[in-house]
Amino acid sequence: MGANLYELNNLPLSTYGVLALASSGALRMLLVFVQMLILPAALIAWLWRRRSKTKLDWLLRLCVTGTYVLWAVLIGPWSSMSLHLRWALLVAFIAAAIISFRRTRGVPFYMRNNGLWWWLSFGGRALLVVVFGLRLLVTFHAWTYEDEALAIATPLRGGRYVVAHGGSNFMLNYHSDDSRPQMYALDISQVGPLGARARGLLPQRLDRYAIYGDTVYSPISGTVVVALDGRPDLTPPESDSTQPAGNHVWVRTGDVYILLAHLKSTSVRVRTGETVRAGEPIGQVGNSGRTSEPHLHIHAVRIKEEVPPDRLLPLGDPVPLLIDGRFLTRNSTF
| 228 and 105 within one domain | no
Question: Is residue 287 one of the residues assigned to a domain?
Answer: yes
- Tell me phi and psi for residue 87, to 5 degrees: -70, -35
Number of structural domains found in the chain: 2
| Containing structural domain, residue 171 | 150-327
Q: What's the pLDDT at 11?
A: 43
**What pLDDT digit, counting tens, does each position of 18-53 carry?**
444 344 566 777 888 899 999 999 999 999 988 888
| 163 and 136 within one domain | no
| 44 and 71 within one domain | yes
Task: Name the CA dihedral angle for 262, 268, 272, 276, rounded to a multiple of 10 degrees.
Answer: -100
| 185 and 96 within one domain | no
Task: Please state whether beta strands 150-152 and 321-323 pair in parallel, antiparallel, or not at all (unpaired).
Answer: parallel
| 130 and 19 within one domain | yes
| 322 and 184 within one domain | yes
Whether the model clears a pTM of 0.85, i.e. scores above it, the answer is yes
| 245 and 178 within one domain | yes
Question: Is residue 180 one of the residues assigned to a domain?
Answer: yes
pLDDT-derived band at 110, boundaries 50, 70, 90: confident
Region 277-301: mean pLDDT is 97
Question: Is residue 4 one of the residues assigned to a domain?
Answer: no
Question: Is residue 132 one of the residues assigned to a domain?
Answer: yes
Instruction: Please report, for the domain that includes residue 242, its CATH number.
Output: 2.70.70.10
* Phi-psi label, residue 325: left if phi above 0, alpha if psi -120 to 50, beta otherwise: left
Give the residue from 141, 170, 196 where a domain finishes.
Answer: 141
Signed CA dihedral, 305, 307, 309, 315: sign only? negative
Region 94-107: mean pLDDT is 93
How many alpha carbons lie under 13 Å from residue 132 in its C-beta half-sphere?
A: 23
Is the predicted pLDDT of residue 8 greater than 70, yes or no? no
Question: Is residue 5 one of the residues assigned to a domain?
Answer: no
Closest CA to 7 of 17, 20, 26, 18: 20
Mean pLDDT of the chain: 91
Signed CA dihedral, 253, 258, 260, 265: sign only? positive
| 206 and 102 within one domain | no
Instruction: Write the single-letter amino acid at 18.
Output: V
- Provide the percentage of residues in the chain whose pLDDT is more than 70: 92
Question: Is residue 220 one of the residues assigned to a domain?
Answer: yes
Region 204-220: mean pLDDT is 97
pLDDT-derived band at 16, boundaries 50, 70, 90: very low
Cβ atoms < 10 Å from Cβ of 319: 22
Q: What's the pLDDT at 202?
A: 87
Query: Higher-confidence residue: 164 or 309?
Result: 164
| 225 and 305 within one domain | yes
Region 283-310: mean pLDDT is 95
Question: Is residue 8 one of the residues assigned to a domain?
Answer: no
Give the residue from 95, 119, 141 where a domain finishes.
Answer: 141
Question: Is residue 101 one of the residues assigned to a domain?
Answer: yes
| 270 and 123 within one domain | no
| Least confident residue range of 7-16, 75-84, 202-211 | 7-16
| 314 and 209 within one domain | yes
Give the residue from 141, 176, 197 where a domain finishes.
Answer: 141
Region 147-176: mean pLDDT is 96
Q: What's the pLDDT at 24?
A: 54
| 307 and 236 within one domain | yes
Is the predicted pLDDT of residue 167 greater than 50, yes or no? yes
